[in-house]
Amino acid sequence: MAKTITAQTKTSKDVKVGLKRKETDDSLDMKNMSKKQKHAFARTRINADKELWDKMPILKQDCRTAGVIPRLEPNFRKADTLSAYLCSPLTDHLSTGFMDLGWGCGYRNCQMLMTFLERQKQDGEPLLKSVLDIPGIQLLIEKAWQEGFDTLGAAQLDHHVFKTRKWIGTTEVYTLLAYLGIRSTIIDFHQPGPQQSHHELIDWIQSYFMDSAIHKKSTKTVCITNRPPLYLQHQGHSRTVVGIELLKSGKRNLIMFDPGRRILRSYRSSQTVQEPIEFDEHINDEENQNKINDEDEEIDILNHDDKKDNSITKRFLSRLKNAPLPSSLLRPFRVDDKSIGKHKQYQVLVLGQVDYQNGKMAWDSNKGYLLSEDEREKMKNVTSLAVL
């Protein structure tokens, strides 16, 4: 009998030890699962949220023009161009519509970034499920605010942008991207240099595009890089930087898509089609200002050679078509350093991570575009890098 009792006692201890081990294992499993969730990409969860995306208004394909970047190349085949560096060809061009004219530039520039994110893949999946229409962007900004993103910005806009004409800028785009699990960086260029120049801004943009082509041995004048476009903000307006042109004279032009400049002024008075109006680095600001009366006036980036055809309907519809257009119809919008100098402060929103490397700010190609759940949580507070 004593042997039997001893055997039962051992069994009881074994059971207790086994239960403790199971509790420990379960606890470790929960901790490991929690760690995995923190390090898992937030994008995966968000893209899989069918209920969320079913409610989101998606941008129609005929509102965007694909394949524009490669077709800009012929515009740089001129004697005074030393070289040009353009952003990723995954980027589409968009313009403000009749319904958002005068207030929609921030949304349209955001959508141009989104077209890149929709086509760019990481771990076999698109970075972004779909490009949102303006109401969709507004809804997601409000959802982000409700979850505690950018509480200061939410208060400034009264926690409401849906179905309004409120402008958005870099902080709202940063908040939207963080909510979607996309990494971005804001850089502040607080003040110009001597003679109102913004050499530091242009230097940084030049290095951003050129660094991606540094290992490519090419004798071509134009280099199309894999870098995403940049969101450039100044007081009252924003544009998308898609490249930079270096001239033999030493001057530089930023290549921009300005969503507010789409229709030639000549169409407004039903006159014959004229050349697209463009800033010229060889004339002064006053003459440029006479050409373009304000930042939001619409100007076409297309160069139409057939002066016999002055049909606004035909021209407008051809602009919206997804079908490829001849390269001769495309013309980039150049902005020189004098024009950049008209504004004191700029902000640049960059997709991905920008860090200080060897004493200067550089885009981190190793960081990737996607945020983990833990990183996404930390980005609820908007931060920026400042160039003093």
By the 8 A CB rule, do 313 and 288 touch? no
9: three-class secondary structure by DSSP: helix
Cα distance between residue 264 and residue 302, in whole Å: 9
Query: Where does 147-249 have alpha helices with state H?
Result: 151-156, 170-179, 199-211
End-to-end CA distance of the chain: 87
- For residues 367, 372, 378, 384, the Cα torsion angle rounded to the nearest 10 degrees is 30
Residue 137 to residues 159, 165, 192, 362, Cα–Cα distance (Å): 14, 13, 32, 29
**Residue 71's closest CA among 271, 269, 303?**
303
**Residue 185's closest CA among 44, 367, 358, 46?**
367
Structure tokens at 67: 């394949």
Catalytic residues: 105, 237, 258
Structure tokens at 115: 């077209």
Q: How many residues does the chain have?
A: 388
210 phi/psi in degrees, rounded to 5: -70, -35
Residue 217 to residues 83, 335, 351, Cα–Cα distance (Å): 14, 28, 26
**Residue 180's closest CA among 92, 233, 118?**
118
DSSP bridge pairs for 239: 232
Identify how many contiguous H helices and E strands the chain contains and give both numbers: 13, 13
